[in-house]
Chains A and B, each alone.
Chain A
Amino acid sequence: IVMTQSPATLSVSPGERATLSCRASQSVSSNLAWYQQKPGQAPRLLIYGASARATGIPARFSGSGSGTEFTLTISSLQSEDFAIYYCQHYNNWPYTFGQGTKLEIK
């Protein structure tokens, strides 16, 4: 299954809303996770089951979608949110990641 993220780069001002998209080449049901990765760090799990926040993840992060279309929304961007975001399906093996969306400061 190929995961396609858009846009490749998103420029948003602090305090504004960011919407990141992920599309699967075939249905993955709700078996989708989102990760945040900062330079030199391992990815951090944000969302699993398409919409459930992982432990300790702030409420400004929300996920939605099912089937082939998914969205990660960050409601009010904080300085620490500027990073690369990856989606990953786990519907059937091998699980695959999208190529990432870089969220940068506008």
Chain B
Amino acid sequence: QVQLQESGPGLVKPSETLSLTCAVSGGSVTSSYWSWIRQPPGKGLECIGYIYYTGITIYNPSLKSRVTISLDTSKNQLSLRLNSVTAADTAVYYCASGYENFDFWGQGTLVTVSS
């Protein structure tokens, strides 16, 4: 069974860059699509974007100018970068397998944007 584990700073200053990684075990990052999804505290879920190992990347238009998703096949992990963050980017960030529906999820990591 695929397992995912997010990691990265829990606190980011406004206008800086949020960077997270997601380690994949029990499967290869070349075997599936991979997504990032976020959930502001007490609120609903938002798809950030997804990636396939061939290089296909699709981003939510609401974030497209600020977001980059990448894969590191040598480390079997995926990454998320979100530039110019504001308080509105405070959320639990999840990585998940798939791109239409999501069958395996990481446990999520809370990122707070605050000075």
Q: Write the residues of chain A forming the contact surface with B, with a CB cutoff of 8 angstroms.
A: 31, 33, 35, 41-45, 48, 54-55, 86, 88, 90, 93-100
Contacts and interface: CB of A to CB of B under 8 A. Distances in A.
Interface residues of B, number: 18
A43 B44 contact: no
A94 B64 CA distance: 11
Given A95-B47, A97-B45, A97-B46, A42 B94 contact: yes
Contact of B47 (A45, A55, A94): A94
A48 B45 contact: no
A88 B61 contact: no
A43 B47 contact: no
Interface stretch (B14-22, B24-32, B79-87, B102-110): B102-110
B101 interface: yes
B60 A42 contact: no
B58 A93 contact: yes
Given A88-B101, A90-B100, A90-B101, A42 B106 contact: yes
Given A42-B107, A42-B108, A94 B62 contact: yes
Interface of B: 44-47, 58, 60-62, 94, 96, 100-103, 105-108
Contacts of B45: 43, 86, 88, 97
Contacts of B46: 96-97
Contact of A100 (B44, B61, B94, B100): B44
A43 B101 contact: no
Nearest to A97: B45
A99 B60 CA distance: 18
A38 to B, nearest CB: 12
Given A96-B46, A97-B47, 20 more contacts: A42-B94, A42-B96, A43-B45, A43-B94, A43-B102, A44-B105, A45-B102, A48-B100, A54-B103, A86-B44, A86-B45, A88-B45, A93-B60, A94-B61, A95-B47, A95-B100, A96-B47, A97-B44, A97-B46, A99-B44
B11 to A, nearest CB: 19
